[in-house]
């Protein structure tokens, strides 16, 4: 993440490689806030709100934030970039 070392293999990027790659991953909750209407909010019972708040209370601020939006940034050397593109998600091959 510092641009000096490959985040996958730890190889120095500036000295050993001409090219480095940046991977920027955004993981965000895929709901549209506009879909929540005033009616929906009124329909939500107080026990539902309480259950929701109880659940949030058990999370750290970071955990709660991660559930909605998370950004990750990595630097990769060329061999690791090639490997990463072959399998961006573990267990999911590129050819679906
Ligand atoms: Zn590497």
Mean pLDDT of 47-57: 85
Question: What are the b/e assignments for 4-28, b being 16+ CB within 10 Å?
Answer: ebbbbeebebeeeeeebbebeeeee
- For the segment 58-82, what is each residue's pLDDT rounded down to a tens digit? 888 888 878 788 999 999 999 999 9
The answer on pLDDT for 96 being more than 60 is no
Query: Separation of 18 CA from ligand 1 center, angstroms?
Result: 13
Please tell me the pTM assigned to this model: 0.60
Q: How far does residue 24's CA lie from ligand 1's centre (Å)?
A: 16
At residue 92, does pLDDT exceed 90?
no
pLDDT tens profile 1-46: 677 899 999 998 877 667 889 999 999 888 766 677 888 888 888 8
Question: How far apart are the CA of 27 and the centre of ligand 1, in A?
Answer: 23
């Amino acid at each position: 993440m510092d641009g000096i070392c490959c985040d996958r293999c730890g190889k120095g990027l500036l000295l050993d490689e001409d090219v480095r790659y940046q991977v920027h991953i955004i993981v965000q909750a895929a709901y549209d806030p506009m879909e929540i209407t005033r009616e929906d909010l009124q329909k939500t019972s107080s026990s539902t709100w309480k259950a929701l708040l109880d659940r949030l209370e058990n999370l750290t601020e970071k955990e709660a934030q991660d559930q909605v939006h998370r950004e990750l940034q990595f630097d990769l050397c060329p061999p690791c970039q090639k490997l990463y593109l072959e399998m961006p998600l573990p267990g999911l091959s590129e050819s679906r």
